[in-house]
Structure 1
Amino acid sequence: MVAPGSRGGTGSWPRSGGRAHARWPWRVAELILAPVVAVLVVVAVLAVVDRLDIPTGTNVGLALTASAGALLALLLAGTALLHRRIPWLAVPLSWAGLAALPTVPLALFLANTPHYLFGVSGDQQFRVQFLTRFADSGTLADFAYADLPPYYPAAWFWVGGRTAALLGVDAWAFHKPYALATLAVTAVLAYVLWSLVTSRPRALGAAVATVLAGLATTAAYTPYSWLTGALVPPLAVLGLRLVRAQARRSAHPHSAQARRSAHPHSAQGPWVRTAVLVGLVLGLAAITHTQILMFAGFVLAVLAADGLLTRRASPLRVAGTAGVVLLAALPLTLLHWLPYLIAAAGGGPTYSAGQHFLAESGSRWPLPMLEPTALGALCLAGTVWIVWRFRSSEVARALGATAACGYAWYLLSTAALAAGTTLLAFRIEPILTAALACGAVGAAADLVHAVRERVPGDRARPAGDAARPDAGAARPDRRAAATGLVVVLAATAVLAGVQDVPEQYSWAGSAQDYRPDGTRPDGSRDPADADAWLGELRITIDGLTGRAPRDVVVLTANQKLVTYTPYFSYQASSAQYANPLGNFPTRTAEIRRWAAAPDPAALLAALDSGPARPPSVLVFSRTGDGALQVPTTEDRFPDPDSSAPPATFAPQLFEDPAWQRRDVGPYAVLVRAGVPPVP
């Protein structure tokens, strides 16, 4: 069966047209224009939402979200119908509608706070710290440890930090609009990539399905991983066609298509351009989220193996394609990883706990097709279509391979427990769900096509009926009815996905964390809260050191202090995000060794003899008996409890002229003079 809009062939979705290769300059321009439009949409949405009066604790926000979802559903449905009639208008409207789809519900959900999801707690703590680091300086540095290149991919944080500095906005305040802009840009990039492998209306449908899958699986909590994770399904289709294109030409060397492909500008040019595009997406993943790179590479490797095993690709051609892809990905990859690899080549001790986390969602295999939701219905239809068309449709095969690789990743992650680690399978759930949801677009297209083939139209009407003036009205157009049914169901799914956002992200709370000046988003301040002293802590530290925060290493009992201010940390807040070169357990042991020092001189000697640059500022919590404490954590994988006894220092250890002490609320600030600044 040939999908509607195609001109024969493989039974897959139609490609983007016979002149697709001639439109490559426009596609490249679209990769620039679409994100620009998406960012403008985010700016407009935030400007409108900021002017709305949404009382906290009421259902006003929910009502606005639901109504906005209905309007977005109408906009996207109308845009889909416009694609064939007024494409020059439908394309930019698609950009705007897709950009608004994740932005509007999340902006309304966060209307009463300047923070993004979960504020600066949990994982967001290190993310805001990373943004703060690069808002202060463009130098490629670790978010926590001094003297080390970053290990966690830094590109998203670097761009965000430098943009915040350019705009004169604090990094923590820029986190929210930047994250929303990333989600909007991701939506339009998915649309552009899908447009390379299918028609515009179906590309829009696939992009909408991708956004809904991301929202439902809380991918918005990690927008920089979703930036490339959302692109894996269309990337898989491109990869499969790269593998199979040469086989088609070899199988039919004298066909018209093969003769066109034999022309160097129509064969090698598109093949190389596609391979380069795939490589650039992989390179982007390498500098934004390593796990997405590994999973995308896994999917592409499986597709290449599929081509070889089914003899639809030659080993030489697969090797050549892989070479072009790797060469295209290498420059971006080395941009981030080369400094780290050089530093790691020194042979010092390392400790990596990045994958020592077994979330509940990563312990159970996701079955979105069985969930009683609109997205569940999409995934069910997509699953059926993928299985039904797996052999006859390239898109179904690529989506099926992506979903199968997702489940294989869960299996491998479970097996990795034997080695004391995981593959963080829960990060793959959004990609797996998106692949299944995109399959629903193929199911809808096949449904419409089946109706069109069964209903021949006016040409099949009897002559007597054709002569009747009311014949058209008397005989309903089943083709139009089928198309209308698909559009209505799609619009319903959009509405359901948008208005469910507040419930999906209720775990993130209202993000009412204290701001850097020690006040809540509503301007209130409770001195009984430790975070209410953040502003005075910074003033005290800067006053005593007389240095810029980037010149100072701090060991602190309040991690929000180093989240909001670009001090370097002697110890990262979590072993899972700590740079392996920093050796998290060793630093914790050092802190305990300092606490056990018998006298001030021994403490100073221990500080100076450690394996890493010692802190020149220590911020302790004061206990009731006057002792000074700093909390510590341990990596006890697979036990999720990382708590550990605090390191307790006797105040007498700081009775030395080398130290200055100031008490700030519940904290004691100890500053050591004469310590060289961080270079």
Structure 2
Amino acid sequence: MSASPVTKPTEQTEHHSPRKGLDKVYVTDTLTLQQTLLRMAVAGALAAAMTLVAWFVLGSVQWPSYNNSFVLRAISTAGTTAVIAVAALTTWLWLHPPKGQPLPRWMRLVTHLIAYLAPAALVITTLAIPLAATRLYLEGISVDQGFRTQFLTRMTDQLGWHDMAYIDMPSFYPGLWFFSGGAFAKLTGLAGWAAFKPWALITLAVASAMLVPVWQRLTGSLAVALAITLTTTAIMVRQAPDEPYAAIVAIGMPAAFLMSRRALEGGKAAIAGNIIYLGLSANLYTLFTGISALTIVIMAFVVALVDKSWKPIWRLIVIGVSSLVIAAIGWGPYLWAMLTQPHGPSKAQHYLPKDGTEIPMPFFDNITLFLLGAIAIIWIIARFRDADVHSMAVGLAVCYGWVFLSLLATIFGTTLLAFRVWLPIALILSVSAVLALAELRIQGLKRFYPQQMLTANTKVITGVMAVFLAATCVHFVTTTTNHVRDSLDAAYTDTDGDAVRGDRMPADATQYYATIDQLISGHTGSQAGTIVLTDEKNFMSYYPYHGYQAITAHYSNPLGEFERRNQAIEAWTTIDDPQELRDAMDAAERDNGWQAPDALVLRGQLDVEKQDPKEENSEQEDSAADPLHDLPKVTGPGDGTFSYQIADDIYPSNPNVRFRTVNFQASAFADGWELHQVGPFVVALRTDA
């Protein structure tokens, strides 16, 4: 899409782009760079405020659980339909003002306000409303969401660029979203786990809203910008809302591809935009950064060959070096540590689900995506020589090339996580389709009809096509909750950090976590700096203790030497002498730098003193005020064992993680440890350190 000459945004006149690019005629809504930046800031701030207010208001109402009632689904569908209808009506009035006269100033302001906030409103209606009756986000605390919550809990307690589990270690996982989320949690006074949902909703809404002025500058049309952003937002919240930091990078990729071409042709604003996008995205989700960077590299050499000039290569170098400087803010400490400290292999790419063995074809997944994909492919092929269309084609080709290389990488015992590339492909195709439809509207549909169809029925046929396309789009957006139903169910069936389930059913073992936390923090004096060895990943997600061992290999920091730690832990389970166990832990710290655990949370049964029922009843009031008062009195470690689950990376098998139980000898805790029985858990606190 071509950049337009600078005109006042209030003027609604036709213009032809002077740049070699898409030869279109648009209603001029062009923004200057200053206007774009200002409107991005205003749109982002308003979207954040609107989403925060919506989250607070929705959370203040007693809603029925989503998985037990259709009330929230009905409200979500109504809200989504209203957002689309208002956006469509606003766009129509903007393109077809009454009596053909420019809209009054107040109406232009309202139009821009609606256009900039409609994508954020779509995030609220499709995600915030269905999640209104739970404090957890999509997928609850299950599977990968447990690690993400652990990272946000870590940042809330200790704001910085630290590893989510291991102490005194730079982060291996990109931390910008979690760092800013930790700051949000501190500002609002929320616990890390409780901040996850509002921060996810806010960041998705803000990214969507800020893209409207970006696309307005790129296309010169507010209507086209709104159509593109609403379409991409709808796809994003349907396909990948559970990983918000990845989604906000992906939704910006098509715009980044268009800016890349203009940057390589000398556009200073486009160069700056690419530098910022690549630098920040590297600290959010590096997979999509890699695809975007590879697209720019290929594009630079193509432009250099076509123009027979080295200038695009020099501009590429400027973009690359400058974005690396920004990326180094997050990656620098980790890379330096990798060069100067012992470490194990990275297992982050050891995951190959069924989706990772297929070539992504989004247009076969849904009727709406089929229509958008078909339009996009026809448009890309027909207009391939156009500079901007070419940039979209290169981005699409790189995505498919990445998938193919990932398939080949399995030969070498790894992957490139190809299953994640479905989203960028769908977004590129959807943006291309909207641009194509905008071009058809401007150039006139009649020129695309066969000669025999140029009759009085042409308008009727066109109207039927428009209504059908609109109906499929509305259906696509309003059925988002069906598509993410499993993730929504998990948000209601998992137990949150306050030991409450969204569906009001009894809590799981999380109900014992608060007592365990009191025991450990009371013993060590604080949560910060305390090392806990446990396989209870939810405990580590809700309380900011450092883990002696990460829960699984693919989320573990290579600097933590996951496999060697597993070997050490398994060796400890063979020890039955208390002094020998403590010596083994101290030796691991001395030889490897792995700070010994201050506490262990295992599963098992201690020898406890049976309490007289009369005495138990007389102490109920005290126990209600002090949960520790109700704990059974431990008389000894017993003769049994305490279980711990070791996670093994078994890639290329699927699932890629195997949990196997090893058993610590109870006799090894007979001396030098303070023992407590908390429900099914044995809490061992080291006393000789």
TM-score in terms of structure 2 length: 0.85
Question: 1:130, 1:157 within 8 Å by CA — same for their partners in 2?
Answer: yes
Shift of 1:479: 8.4
Task: Single out whichever of 563-572 and 372-381 deviates more from structure 2.
Answer: 372-381
Shift of 1:399: 1.9
Question: 1:62, 1:502 within 8 Å by CA — same for their partners in 2?
Answer: yes
Looking at structure 1, the residues matched to 46 and 74 of structure 2 have their Cα atoms a distance apart, in angstroms, of 27
Answer yes or no: is 1:215 the counterpart of 2:231: no
Aligned length: 621
> After superposition, where does 1:434-583 map in structure 2 within 5 Å?
434-451=427-444, 488=467, 491-508=470-487, 509-511=489-491, 512-521=493-502, 525=506, 529-545=508-524, 547-583=525-561
> After superposition, where does 1:74-473 map in structure 2 within 5 Å?
74-84=85-95, 85-86=102-103, 87-198=108-219, 199-217=221-239, 219-243=240-264, 245=265, 271-309=267-305, 311-312=306-307, 314-315=309-310, 317-391=311-385, 393-451=386-444
Match of 2:22 in 1: 12
Looking at structure 2, the residues matched to 626 and 501 of structure 1 have their Cα atoms a distance apart, in angstroms, of 50
Shift of 1:571: 0.9
Match of 2:70 in 1: 59
Shift of 1:582: 0.6
Looking at structure 1, the residues matched to 314 and 29 of structure 2 have their Cα atoms a distance apart, in angstroms, of 25
Report the 3-state secondary structure (helix = DSSP H, G, I; strand = E; otherwise coil) of the residue aligned with 1:141: coil
5+ residue gaps in structure 1? 247-270, 456-474
What are the Cα deviations for residues 61-82 of structure 1, in whole angstroms up to 9, with x where unaligned?
2222222222111111123224
Looking at structure 2, the residues matched to 166 and 138 of structure 1 have their Cα atoms a distance apart, in angstroms, of 12
Q: Cα–Cα, structure 1 residues 24 and 398, in superposed 2: closer, same or farther, change >3 Å?
A: same
Question: 2:300, 2:316 within 8 Å by CA — same for their partners in 1?
Answer: no
Shift of 1:638: 1.0
Shift of 1:14: 5.2
Answer yes or no: is 1:600 the counterpart of 2:595: no
Report the 3-state secondary structure (helix = DSSP H, G, I; strand = E; otherwise coil) of the residue aligned with 1:668: strand
Q: Partner letter of residue 418 of structure 1?
A: I
Shift of 1:55: 5.2
Q: Partner letter of residue 518 of structure 1?
A: A
Question: 1:213, 1:375 within 8 Å by CA — same for their partners in 2?
Answer: no
Match of 2:604 in 1: 622
Q: Cα–Cα, structure 1 residues 75 and 12, in superposed 2: closer, same or farther, change >3 Å?
A: same
Question: 1:65, 1:498 within 8 Å by CA — same for their partners in 2?
Answer: no
Q: Partner letter of residue 226 of structure 2?
A: L
Question: 1:591, 1:647 within 8 Å by CA — same for their partners in 2?
Answer: no
Q: Partner letter of residue 275 of structure 2?
A: G
What are the Cα deviations for residues 289-319 of structure 1, in whole angstroms up to 9, with x where unaligned?
111111110111121122134x13622x112
Looking at structure 2, the residues matched to 210 and 430 of structure 1 have their Cα atoms a distance apart, in angstroms, of 10
Looking at structure 1, the residues matched to 571 and 252 of structure 2 have their Cα atoms a distance apart, in angstroms, of 48
What are the Cα deviations for residues 574-600 of structure 1, in whole angstroms up to 9, with x where unaligned?
211111111111111110011122411
Shift of 1:383: 1.9
Match of 1:261 in 2: none
Shift of 1:327: 4.1
Looking at structure 2, the residues matched to 557 and 515 of structure 1 have their Cα atoms a distance apart, in angstroms, of 18
Shift of 1:359: 2.0
Looking at structure 1, the residues matched to 667 and 17 of structure 2 have their Cα atoms a distance apart, in angstroms, of 85
Task: Single out whichever of 556-565 and 189-198 deviates more from structure 2.
Answer: 189-198
Answer yes or no: is 1:653 the counterpart of 2:668: yes
Shift of 1:494: 4.2
Task: Single out whichever of 133-142 and 561-570 deviates more from structure 2.
Answer: 133-142
Identity %: 28
Question: 2:575, 2:665 within 8 Å by CA — same for their partners in 1?
Answer: no
Q: Partner letter of residue 387 of structure 1?
A: I
What are the Cα deviations for residues 166-186 of structure 1, in whole angstroms up to 9, with x where unaligned?
111111111111101111112
Q: Cα–Cα, structure 1 residues 500 and 19, in superposed 2: closer, same or farther, change >3 Å?
A: closer
Question: 2:215, 2:255 within 8 Å by CA — same for their partners in 1?
Answer: yes
Q: Partner letter of residue 648 of structure 1?
A: N
What are the Cα deviations for residues 629-657 of structure 1, in whole angstroms up to 9, with x where unaligned?
1111111111123214222111000111x
Shift of 1:58: 2.4
Looking at structure 2, the residues matched to 151 and 444 of structure 1 have their Cα atoms a distance apart, in angstroms, of 43
Q: Cα–Cα, structure 1 residues 667 and 507, in superposed 2: closer, same or farther, change >3 Å?
A: same
Alignment equivalent of 1:584, drawn from 554, 559, 562: 562
Report the 3-state secondary structure (helix = DSSP H, G, I; strand = E; otherwise coil) of the residue aligned with 1:284: helix
Looking at structure 2, the residues matched to 147 and 536 of structure 1 have their Cα atoms a distance apart, in angstroms, of 27
Task: Single out whichever of 70-79 and 664-673 deviates more from structure 2.
Answer: 70-79
Question: 1:12, 1:395 within 8 Å by CA — same for their partners in 2?
Answer: yes
Question: 1:73, 1:492 within 8 Å by CA — same for their partners in 2?
Answer: no
Q: Partner letter of residue 313 of structure 2?
A: A
Match of 2:627 in 1: none
Shift of 1:384: 1.9
Shift of 1:454: 5.7
Q: Partner letter of residue 367 of structure 2?
A: T
Report the 3-state secondary structure (helix = DSSP H, G, I; strand = E; otherwise coil) of the residue aligned with 1:646: strand
TM-score in terms of structure 1 length: 0.86
Alignment equivalent of 2:677, drawn from 657, 663, 670: 663
Shift of 1:420: 0.9
Match of 1:71 in 2: 82
What are the Cα deviations for residues 540-573 of structure 1, in whole angstroms up to 9, with x where unaligned?
222232x211120001131111111110001111
Q: Partner letter of residue 32 of structure 1?
A: A
Q: Partner letter of residue 114 of structure 1?
A: R
Shift of 1:360: 1.8
Shift of 1:103: 2.2
Q: Partner letter of residue 500 of structure 2?
A: T
What are the Cα deviations for residues 107-135 of structure 1, in whole angstroms up to 9, with x where unaligned?
12212211000111111111111111111
Q: Partner letter of residue 347 of structure 2?
A: A
Q: Cα–Cα, structure 1 residues 479 and 196, in superposed 2: closer, same or farther, change >3 Å?
A: farther
Q: Cα–Cα, structure 1 residues 669 and 53, in superposed 2: closer, same or farther, change >3 Å?
A: closer
Looking at structure 1, the residues matched to 388 and 198 of structure 2 have their Cα atoms a distance apart, in angstroms, of 34
Question: 1:444, 1:486 within 8 Å by CA — same for their partners in 2?
Answer: no
**RMSD value over aligned CA atoms?**
2.8
Question: 1:355, 1:421 within 8 Å by CA — same for their partners in 2?
Answer: yes
Answer yes or no: is 1:640 the counterpart of 2:662: no
Question: 2:41, 2:210 within 8 Å by CA — same for their partners in 1?
Answer: no
Question: 2:360, 2:422 within 8 Å by CA — same for their partners in 1?
Answer: yes
Looking at structure 2, the residues matched to 477 and 284 of structure 1 have their Cα atoms a distance apart, in angstroms, of 52
Shift of 1:326: 2.6
Looking at structure 2, the residues matched to 651 and 630 of structure 1 have their Cα atoms a distance apart, in angstroms, of 12
Q: Cα–Cα, structure 1 residues 5 and 632, in superposed 2: closer, same or farther, change >3 Å?
A: farther
